[in-house]
Amino acid sequence: MSERGITRLAVSFDGSGWYAADPLGNTMPLPVSDGCWLPDLPDGASCEQLLLPVEQLLVRVFSLPLTSPRLIDAGILGQELDDRAAIDIDAWWLGWLAASGVQQAESLSPRVAGIVFGLPISWKEEIDASPAWQQVRVVAADAALRLGRHLNPKSEHDSQSWEAVFDADQDGFFFGLWRGDACYGMRRVNRSGAYAGYLAEEVTRSLQAMAATEAMVCHFSGLLDEPLLHALRLPSWHGRTESEGDLPTRHQANLASATISSDASLSAATRMNFRHGRWAASKGIAWIRPWYRALSLAGMLLLLWLAGLGYQIHSLNTNLAATQQQIVQAFHQGLPDEKVMIDALAQLRRAAGSSGEVSPLTARWLQQVAAVHQVYKATSWQMGELEWQDGVMKMSGKAANLQLLNVIRQSLQKQTGRDVKLLDTDLSGQQVTFRMQWQ
């Protein structure tokens, strides 16, 4: 597949050499620089799937008293490896294939069985350190991918029966043992010039060790060459057979398994993918994943701030409308003969003195009204009456509580420069009714 001009490759490593295949099935060797484990990728290419040799990975089977495979994690498997084989789990990055195991007759407790693979931490760190390899989506054992594509559907065999699966190539062959959906062993045997009879004995001993019994009723499937099939003398064979000369090389078989279909092969490979959990490959905007929680919290705070701002604007608009209504009422009460209000302040000034000049008393009254207005804008309350007589300003109203009333009084003192006195307060209602004056 190609994405934004980048060629996505499947890459196979057999322990000594590296090969890659593009989406069209073209294969190529990959050179390795001195002192490096990973090869150099061609310009404009990135790795989609990386298949590693099962012989160089940690491979162990397990059976745990759990009710579901979803309960398994690397911590549980690491503890199991440490307890049973004293394996230093800090040296391996784990991946696994697990399923609900078949219950033994002597035990009714549910179990989960499967196989766990370990990737050397040094390999993982080199992938992390290489910009060209950081985006690889699948890192898997070649045996798991190649044997997995030969497995029969669940309904074809009884979950109590065993199924041995083979996949051969010119250099050797993989085989594994399943019971139901649980894998009980997986191995690679290289030919290395050995005759078919010797290889068949090696397979028989390994299958018996995997099942821990010599009397197995087993189904056999997959792909084998004719000499090895005859040497194994299997009671039944449900797979394909080819001559040894027609078999692909290990690299060719690995890459064909990875590139049969981009969707199907990727789905099969991800059943055992080392790139899981916190080592999952980032794709698109997935780099932002570690910041999801912080960004979600910031988004919630932004929404709350916007909601508060909207409420504040609504309250201010409501107060403005109420103030304008009070101005209209006060204007018509003070100037009942004025039918039209154009500029309330100018009209009040004109009414205060016919000469057009504002008297000191009028100016003082306007200053007091302006002070009340400034305080009202900052701290609103329900205005009652505002009375100016003989240089004394009296005001009544209602405040939400005593604390707000004290704030109003202190603000008025600051704005007017006068001593504002509370004449009386009434706490009998839900609000505080008050009267105050200053001069």
Question: Does residue 290 carry a pLDDT above 60?
Answer: yes
Whether pLDDT at 363 is above 80: no
pLDDT at 362: 72
Per-residue pLDDT at 13 exceeds 90: yes
- Report pLDDT for 32: 92
Which one-letter amino acid corresponds to residue 388?
A: W
Q: What is the mean pLDDT of the chain?
A: 84
Interval 10-35 mean pLDDT:
92
pLDDT at 386 over 80: yes
> Which residues lie across from 219 on neighbouring strands?
163
Dihedral sign of CA atoms 212, 216, 217, 222 in order = positive
Q: Where are the domains of the chain?
A: 2-283, 358-439
Predicted pLDDT of residue 162: 86
Fold of 358-439: Gyrase A; domain 2 (3.30.1360)
User: 2: pLDDT confidence band, cut at 50, 70 and 90?
Assistant: very low
Mean pLDDT along residues 178-197: 91
pLDDT at 236: 85
User: Is residue 264 scored above 70 in pLDDT?
Assistant: no
Label residue 223 by pLDDT band (50, 70, 90): very high
In angstroms, the CA 269 to CA 264 distance is: 9
**Between 353 and 69, the higher pLDDT residue:** 69
Q: Which of 25-34, 96-105, 274-283, 423-432 is least confident?
A: 96-105
Distances (CA, A) of 387 to 348, 353, 432: 15, 19, 20
Q: What is the pLDDT of residues 135-178, one digit of tens each?
A: 899 999 999 999 988 887 654 455 667 899 999 999 999 999 99
Position 358 confidence tier, pLDDT thresholds 50, 70, 90: low
pLDDT in tens, 276-288: 988 987 655 555 6
Average pLDDT over residues 358-383: 80
